[in-house]
Amino acid sequence: MFTTTDFIPKKYTSTIENGNFEWSAPSNIALVKYWGKKDNQIPANPSVSFTLNNCKTITKLGFEKRTSSETNFSFDLLFEGKPKEDFKPKIQKFLERIEVYLPFLKDYHFTIDTQNTFPHSSGIASSASGMAALAMNFMSLEKVLNPEMTDEYFYQKASFLARLGSGSACRSVKGNVVVWGSQANIAGSSDLFGVEFPYTIHENFKNYQDTILLVDKGEKQVSSTVGHDLMHNHPYAERRFAQAHENLDQLITIFESGNLDEFIKVVESEALTLHAMMMTSMPYFILMKPNTLQIINAIWKFRNETQIPVCFTLDAGANVHVLYPENVSEKVLQFIQSELVVFCQNGQYICDHIGDGAMER
Ligand code: DP6
C-alpha cells in the first residue's frame, strides 16, 4: 500500500510541451458519513459511498510549457465555457496543497475548462466530482512525464490528490462502492485515498438507484469545511467517530447478505446522525428544511404500507437522496412523482444510480 512519500515523485524521465486531457468524474453519496477531520485532510472516521453515474463534472485540462521558470501558478478557469473568477481561489489553494506531489505544476500554464451535468446551484455538491476530475487530468499529465507508472499508482494517487482538494472527492475516482479511511476489518483501507470495497456485494445492491430530490437550491448557510471544524471539541465527537466504525463494520455484513432492512437502518441513522452533529455543535445550525422532513415522513409511511425497501440519506444540505434497489424502480418512481415532487423546489429531481467512477474522454 502506498504512503504519502510514495506520492512525491523522483525525477521524471519524459517531457511534453503542450496538449490536453479530458476526464469526467461522478459525484458520490456517502452511506457512512465523513464529518470531522484532522490536519491535512485526514478524516476523523472512515466513510463509505456509492459512486454515482449521471451527476458528474467534465473537465478539460489544456497545458502549455512556460518559457521561463516561474514562482507562481498560472491558470485560466472556464466554467461552462466562460471565465469564472470566483472558482479560482479554491483551485489556487488546491494547487498549493498538491504541488509537492506534482512538482511540474509551475512549469505549465493551464486552461481548466469545466462543466457539470447537473444544474448549477442545485445544492448538489460539485466539489467532489470537480476535484476528482481535475486530479485525474493532472495524473494523465504526470503519466506522460513518468510512463512507467502503474495503473494502481495512477488511481490511488489521483484519489490522494482529490482528497486534498475536498475530502469526499477521493471517493469519486473509483466505482460502485468506495471506502475512505482506515478500518481494521477492511483490507487496504486508508486515510490517504479511497479504495473500492474489497468484499462481496450482494445482487440486491447491483445498480442501486439514487433519486435526488432538490428541496432547496439556495446557498448553504454553513459550508462543509466549517461544519467539519465544529467537530473539534464537539461534545459527542468521540462517540460519533466510534459509531462510524461500528456502522461500517455492519455494512460489511449487510453488503454480503443483501439484508435491506438492516441496510436501511444503518443508512438512515447515519443521515440523521450527521444532522444531529450539526444541531449539537457550537454554534449549532440546521440544514434540513421543512420539506426535507415532509419527504422523510412520506418515505417512512410509504415503506410501512408497502414493505418496499426504499430509504433516504442526506448530504450537508436540505436535498434528499432516495435510495432503492433496481427491481422496485417503477413503483418508487410512481411514488416520488405522485407524493414527493410537491416538496421539491420547482418540482425538480434527478434520477441517478451506482456508477463506475472517473472516465477518460
Ligand atoms: C456531509 O468532502 O465536502 O457530504 O473535505 O472540507 O471539502 P471538505 O468536505 P466535504 O465533506 C462532505 C461531507 C458529507 C459527508 C460525506 O460525503 O461523507
166 Cβ inside 6 Å of ligand 1: yes
Q: How many helices (H) and strands (E) does the chain have?
A: 8, 14
**Could you tell me which of 143, 155, 187, 197 has the C-alpha nearest to residue 25?**
155
| CB 227 near ligand 1, within 6 Å | no
Q: Check pLDDT > 70 for residue 121.
A: no
Query: What whole-number distance in Å separates Cα of residue 135 and Cα of residue 155?
Result: 10
- Ligand 1 atom nearest the C-alpha of 167 is 5
- On the 0-12 / 13-18 / 19+ scale of CB atoms within 10 A, 11 is exposed
Range name among 107-121, 152-166, 178-192, 283-297 with the lowest pLDDT average: 107-121
Percentage above 70 pLDDT, the chain: 99
Query: Any idea what DSSP says for residue 329?
Result: H
Residue 240 φ/ψ, nearest 5 degrees: -65, -45
Average pLDDT, the chain: 96
Q: Where are the alpha helices (DSSP H) in the chain?
A: 88-98, 127-145, 151-165, 224-229, 237-257, 260-279, 290-306, 329-335
Cis geometry, peptide bond prior to residue 283 (ω within 30 degrees of 0): yes
> What pLDDT score was predicted for residue 78?
97
Q: How far is the centre of ligand 1, averaged over its atoms, from the C-alpha of 304 (Å)?
A: 31
Task: Tell whether the model's pLDDT for residue 153 goes beyond 70.
Answer: yes
User: In this predicted structure, what is the pLDDT of residue 220?
Assistant: 73
- pLDDT at position 53: 98
Residue 219: other Cβ atoms inside 10 A:
8
Q: Average pLDDT, stretch 332-346?
A: 97
pLDDT value at position 68?
Answer: 85
Condensed to tens digits (0 to 9), the pLDDT of residues 28-59 reads 999 999 999 999 999 999 999 999 999 999 99
**How far apart, in whole angstroms, are the C-alpha atoms of residue 357 and residue 129?**
10
Provide the Cα torsion 88, 89, 93, 94; round to 10°. -30
How far is residue 275's CA from residue 205's CA, in Å, rounded to a whole number?
Answer: 25
Closest to 288 measured CA to CA, from 300, 298, 279: 279
Q: Using 50, 70 and 90 to split pLDDT, how confident is the model at 358?
A: very high
Find the 32 Cα to ligand 1 centroid distance in Å: 11
Helix (H) or strand (E) holding 177: strand 177-180
User: CB of 40 closer than 6 A to ligand 1?
Assistant: no
- Asked if pLDDT for residue 219 goes beyond 90, the answer is no
Residue 217 predicted with pLDDT over 80: no
Provide mean pLDDT across the span 100-111: 98
Kindly give the distance from the C-alpha atom of residue 35 to the centroid of ligand 1, in angstroms, as a whole number.
7
Delineate the domains of the chain, giving CATH numbers in brackets: 1-361 (3.30.230.10)
Q: What is the DSSP letter of 337?
A: I
Task: For residue 35, give the 3-state DSSP assignment.
Answer: coil
Q: Report d(CA 20, CA 16) in Å as an integer.
A: 11
232-247: average pLDDT:
98
Type of residue at 332: V
Query: Measured from the CA of 228, which atom of ligand 1 is nearest?
Result: 6
Beta carbon of 51 within 6 Å of any ligand 1 atom: no
d(CA 103, CA 116): 28
Strand, coil or helix: what is 180?
A: strand
pLDDT for the residue 70: 84
Q: Report the distance separating Cα 227 and Cα 316, nearest Å.
A: 9
Query: Is the predicted pLDDT of residue 122 greater than 90, yes or no?
Result: no
Model-wide pTM > 0.95: yes
The full length of the chain comes to 361
Decide: 270 in ligand 1 pocket, CB within 6 A: no
Classify each residue of 161-176 as buried b or exposed e, where b means 16 or more C-beta atoms within 10 Å of its C-beta.
bbbbbbbbbbbbbbbb
Encode 250-268: b = buried (16+ Cβ within 10 Å), e = exposed.
Answer: bbbebbeebbbeebbebbb
Ligand 1 neighbour 47 (Cβ under 6 A): yes
Across the strands, what pairs with 176? none
Q: Is the CB of 127 under 6 A from ligand 1?
A: yes
Contact 18, 65 (CB under 8 A): yes
Ligand 1 contacts CB of residue 168 (under 6 A) = yes
Give pLDDT tens digits for 59-94: 999 999 999 878 999 999 999 999 999 899 999 999
The strands making up 320-324's β-sheet, listed across from edge to edge, are: 311-314, 320-324, 209-213, 349-353
Ligand 1 pocket mutation, candidates 93, 224, 287, criterion most atoms within 8 A of CB: 224
CB atoms within 10 A of CB 313: 22
